[in-house]
Structure formats: structure tokens, C-alpha cells
Amino acid sequence: MIMQKMDPRYLSPTHIIDSDHPAITGHAEKTINGSIDPVDKAVKLYYAVRDGIWYDPYYPFYLPEHYRASNVLKSGRGYCVCKASLLCALGRACQIPSRIGFADVKNHLATKQLLEFLGSNLFVYHGYVEFFLEGKWVKATPAFNRELCERHQVAPLEFNGREDSIFHPFNLENKQFMEYVAEHGVYADISVDMLVAAWKATYGKDRVLGWIEMYEKRGGISGRDFSKEDVIKN
């Protein structure tokens, strides 16, 4: 059997996925706690990011430093692409081939305030990670921390390193939750220009530029607390 050669980019640091940063390598080492099994390492890293980094959809989004893994680790919060960047960096720090995937999803259980902010329930370029484990690529989605899932009556996404971990279509009350509507492929790095262009195309250029102006005036702070917003109950 011919073994496929691994793309070295999936093990290499980038300016954004800075897997060689001391904070990243140190956090990875602490998290895996001496484990030598790649699957066990990946699982431990996944839960460290899922629950250790708070999901914040209002986190700034328009500069490379907003996605830099070491910055996300330091801030302790970020939206899905930020958390995926961190998990990808931690995987590479542990010598697990790791890459970023993007998909468009419809969120049927978002908050009233977030839907008004976006003007849509379509979340474009939702970010996740793929790890290469036991000869295949496996999806890991660390976006929503356990506390947030409990508040929205959604089962937290588990990950065993052998099966894809993707959003549930329904919540615990059997109401529609997440719907995947488009896939945008996998990447070795994050193109911020690509993300911002997609946001402008979907949510409107003026709306997105207004968000950027708001963040610039407030020093990168939105002034919004997603954890206290009104959960829509259809």
C-alpha cells in the first residue's frame, strides 16, 4: 500500500497558527500531561480548548492578531475560528498534523441580540479543526463551551479522536439547532482577508465596516456579553 505523504504545512507554525510560541508549547505540554498516544493527546487538547476558552461571537475579527493562537490563549475567549486556530496550533505543537476547515452554518437557536447584530442566522466561515489520527482526518469542533451548551439546552460536543465531532442538528428539546449549508474546504493557515470579505458579502459592507469602527473606538471591546443574552425559544 502506498502511503500518502503528509503536507508539511500541517505540522508547521505560521504567523497566525503560532504553534512554536512558548505559551502554546507550554500549554500543550501541560494539557497532554505526559501522554504519548496521538489520539489521547488530541482528545485532551480538544476539551482544553472547548471548555477552557469562552465562546464569544463578539470577539474582534478583522486583524491577524485576533486569530493568533497565542493571543487567543492569553485572552481566554474567542469565536469559533479563534478557538479553531488555538486547537490547530496545540495539535501541531504535539506533532499531530492539524488543519483548519470552514463551513457555513445556520444557527436556529442563537440569541435575539446576536441575530439583530448580524442581521441573519447564517454564520459564514464557521471554523473547525481536522486532526490526522490513525491514518485519517477527523473533524473536531471546539466552539461552544459546556456552560454555554447547558444554557442553550444543547448537548456539548464530545470528541473521541476517531469520529467526526460536528454540530448537532437538534438540541435536547428536539428543536432545530445547527444546519450545515456549505463547505469551504480545509487550509494550512487562516486568511483574514478571506474571512472579512465573506462577512462583507453576507452581512453587508456597511454593517461590517461599522463593526470595525466600533471595535477601533472601544479598543477591541464590543461591550456585549453573549452569556447573558436572551436565548430564543422557538
The larger pLDDT score, comparing residue 113 to residue 170, is at: 113
Would you say 83 and 49 are in contact if contact means Cβ atoms under 8 Å apart?
Answer: yes
pTM of the model: 0.95
Q: Which fold would CATH assign to domain 10-191? A: C8orf32 fold (3.10.620)
The larger pLDDT score, comparing residue 56 to residue 230, is at: 56
Q: What is the mean pLDDT of the chain?
A: 94
CA 183 centroid distance within chain: 15
pLDDT digits 0-9 by tens, 68-115:
999 999 999 999 999 999 999 999 999 999 999 999 999 876 899 999
pLDDT at res. 189: 98
Which amino acid, one-letter code, is at 60? P
Residue 1 above 50 pLDDT? no
CA 26 centroid distance within chain: 21
Spatial neighbors of 12 by CB under 8 A, at least 6 apart, are: 19, 92, 188
- CA-CA distances (angstroms) from residue 35 to 28, 48, 104? 11, 14, 34
Main-chain dihedrals φ then ψ at residue 210, nearest 5 degrees: -65, -40
Domain ranges of the chain: 10-191
pLDDT digits 0-9 by tens, 186-206:
999 999 999 999 999 999 999
pLDDT at res. 234: 54
